[in-house]
Chain A
């Protein structure tokens, strides 16, 4: 299955379904990182359905585009896309964070078909994405490496080590996306550790920079196309997003990084925060 041509209505419907499934899967596991998952729905759908070359029946296809989720706690977002693309049965989604699962809270390259890199300890995925991009260049291969980092994750010094490294080596096959939802675990980024001027920082580190509305289908698609066209340097796309997007119980709330669902009443309340009700695929 290669890239698909979906209408905006189809994409909206897919995003609604993803949010419904994600919320249910996270809630039924008792807890999970719902905020930074919901902020990525449109970006990850765009990557898997409109941008990246992947083969669900051949997850290790050598010429596939790679996706490194450096903010590894958003694993359930990637799992949902992989399941809907056919990398593994959708029934697996009901096992997220359950004992013995193939879909752990944080990404694991050895457990999940289609996961390109293990990540969880913040700051490390972008370095590995640099290594993957450098390896591709040395081998003369044409695939691209996409890497999603968090804004809170950008507090880590290793992100800026990788930033220096990628531009020094002219890694134009590396496209990074910062999920700039303005919230980290303990509060708003501007209050905990201010990142601004964020775009200027990446530009100063030698990256081509872009900004986009991370929930606007056309903006995401067009911006990623521009980032892909950059030559001789890496591209950073600052995606302005809303943490916990699409659920009134989580949207832009400081406490939505990781929710706990201790009982049925909490589950019902969180599910009611979604704007729709639908059949679950498992």
Chain B
């Protein structure tokens, strides 16, 4: 499938169809947002027996999925990130993670990509709260090929998993031959001056940062974490040892998510100066990404400037 020309949500739906073709135990659960997730009409018409629209009841959807998983099904449950995680946090904790039931939770439109729905729907804490849950894997793919590889991995594993799904069409980063390994971060650009760590929606911006700074003579070591949990500590520690300065950027609150994971590892294994970028502990609002990047200071120019400053302060450090 040539998928990088498609919206990520359509890739989600088309890949689910393929997975159901291969394994009829794969199920698609929705809570009245199936058009937003891309699964209606794609999955609902092609696999009506494997498509369950629960209506606007996210808590029940998670419980139904847990019961189905207990019977050997592999349910993928989607809703906006806010309703797929924070609204049903106890249901996921007890019925899925604590019970170790093989449920796949898909949070769509993460962070600033929620745009016109504004502050009530913009969730900046899902990586943090899902990461803090035992038994739970947490993934945030950056492009369509990576999404597809991750979906195949999820369908074949028995691991309760949370997936952040960007609904938009995203710039191509990975080839179709890309293989996902939840235990490995991916080095997208090699350098010795500063380590830049990103995930999900911010990775294509971080890659632009690395290319632009390269033309200034600054060599960025860019690490992309499609799996925020489990967390690949080794590649980070090795990079920090070489660069001595780390910048993290994520489409999330700077409290608790990728930046916090990076700080936890570095402070225990290789303390270096680190700067976290993302939402500075604020709620969202109705706005487009560029407006929010500017307002909260984690767009392309801000990341470039922070990298330069980190290199300068490293010399003074």
Interface residues of chain A, those whose CB is within 8 Å of chain B, are: 68, 108-110, 116-121, 123-136, 138-139, 157-158, 161-162, 164-165, 168
| Chain A contact surface mostly | helix
Say yes or no: A127 contacts B71, CB within 8 Å: no
Q: Which residues of B contact A127 (CB under 8 A)?
A: 59-60, 62-64, 66-67, 91, 95
Which residues B53-67 have CB closer than 8 A to chain A? 54-55, 57, 59-60, 62-67
Query: Out of A128, A139, A168, which one reaches B70, CB within 8 Å?
Result: A128
Chain B contact patch, size range: 20 to 34
A147 CB to nearest B CB, Å: 10
Is B68 among interface residues, defined by CB-CB distance under 8 A? yes
A131-B99 contact given A158-B60, A162-B60, CB 8 Å threshold: no
Which of B49, B54, B93 counts the most chain A CB atoms within 10 A?
Answer: B54
* Residues of chain B lying within 8 A (CB to CB) of residue A123: 59
Residue in B55, B60, B95 whose Cβ sees the most chain A Cβ within 10 Å: B60
| For the complex of A and B, 10 pairs with smallest distance between CB atoms | A127-B63, A131-B67, A128-B67, A118-B99, A161-B60, A131-B64, A135-B71, A161-B57, A132-B67, A131-B68
Residues of A within 8 A of B91 (CB): 121, 124, 127, 158
Q: How many A-B residue pairs have CB under 8 A?
A: 100
Q: How far is the CB of B20 from chain A (nearest CB, A)?
A: 12
The residue among B49, B68, B73 with the most chain A CB atoms within 10 A of its own CB is B68
Q: Are A164 and B63 in contact (CB under 8 A)?
A: no
- A37–B69 Cα distance when bound, in Å, is 28
Known: A108-B99, A124-B59, A134-B68. 11 other contacts (CB 8 A): A116-B70, A117-B70, A118-B95, A118-B101, A121-B90, A123-B59, A124-B95, A127-B64, A129-B67, A133-B67, A168-B55
Cα-based distance from A125 to B95 in the complex (angstroms):
8
B68 touches A118 (CB 8 A): no
Inter-chain contact B94/A131, CB cutoff 8 Å: no
Q: How far is the CA of A123 from the CA of B98 in the complex (A)?
A: 16
